[in-house]
Amino acid sequence: MEPPPPDDDANRKDGGYVFVLELATLETAKVGKGYAILNCDDHANFIRRHGKQPGDHRPDICHQALLAILDSPLNKAGMVKAIYVNTQKNVLFRVSPKTRVPRTFKRFCGLMVQLLQKLSVRSSNGPEKLMQVVKQPVTKYFPAGARRVGFSFSAPEVKKLPEYVEALPEDAAVVFTIGAMAHGKVDVAYTDDFISVSRYPLSAACCIGRICNALELKHDIV
């Protein structure tokens, strides 16, 4: 089945922010009678039987990261234009900034199974696609002229985010790329800058919180 095209205008040349969560561990498998998103707590024995490490299956990281973006005042003020999630299985999907992600992990995993099997999730009260699988590469959906910034603890430079975002161009969009996995680093070729925001390793959700907070200060979003 051909993935549907994205229903958004995020590729327009204007301001705003796009978030990309890379290397998310959202792997579906038939466990028992139904399909599930594999996670280290509930499926450790199943994962080991297939020659993999349970600790590498952390869909909770993606869940927490999405909540951090969608719950932020930055998003509620309309400044987040699009969110993309790229899984370790190379499946790319878009999340609308209007989406209300389930608060509980179990319901989130159920939603991810639905998305990865049906390729889209529609709004309960209309035809709008809140989540949908889209074709690679993610760069084809970036706004024209966007500044692309990657984040990693292993980056060569530690930046103070309030100062860094203050220097970003006012009239161009900015793409922020954050890893959504338990170990390793994001290694993508499309970033213009590759920076760290702390001398200490941070969770994806904590890093996103710092990014959003710095942008909210810049735009006087309270």
Beta strands in 38-123 (DSSP E): 80-87, 92-95, 120-122
Q: pLDDT at position 126, please? A: 79
| pLDDT at 166 > cutoff 90 | yes
Beta strands in 27-155 (DSSP E): 28-31, 34-37, 80-87, 92-95, 120-122, 129-134, 147-151
CB distance 37 to 109 below 8 Å: yes
- Residue owning tokens 């993508």: 188
CA–CA gap between residue 199 and residue 162 (Å, rounded): 16
What is the average pLDDT across 17-34? 94
CB distance 194 to 155 below 8 Å: yes
Helix 204-218 to helix 59-70 angle (10° resolution) is 10
Q: pLDDT at position 7, please? A: 44
* Residues 67-114 pLDDT 10s: 999 999 999 999 999 999 999 999 999 999 999 999 999 999 999 999
- Residue owning tokens 């599930």: 36
CA–CA gap between residue 115 and residue 119 (Å, rounded): 5
Q: pLDDT at position 38, please? A: 93
* Phi, psi angles (nearest 5°) of residue 119: 75, -5
Q: Who has greater pLDDT, 8 or 172?
A: 172
Cβ neighbour number for residue 178 with a 10 Å cutoff: 26
What is the average pLDDT across 174-184? 92
What confidence category does residue 123 fall into, taking pLDDT thresholds of 50, 70 and 90? Answer: confident
Cβ neighbour number for residue 118 with a 10 Å cutoff: 13
| Cβ neighbourhood burial of 69 (10 Å; 0-12, 13-18, 19+) | buried
Domains of the chain: 16-26+57-101+125-219 (3.40.1280.10)
Give the predicted TM-score (pTM) of the model.
0.90
DSSP 8-state assignment for residue 12: S
| pLDDT at 8 > cutoff 60 | no
Report the candidate in 72, 67, 42 with the shortest Cα–Cα distance to residue 57. Answer: 42
What is the average pLDDT across 171-189? 90
CA 212 to chain centre: 13
Amino acid at 11: N
Share of the chain above pLDDT 70, in %: 94
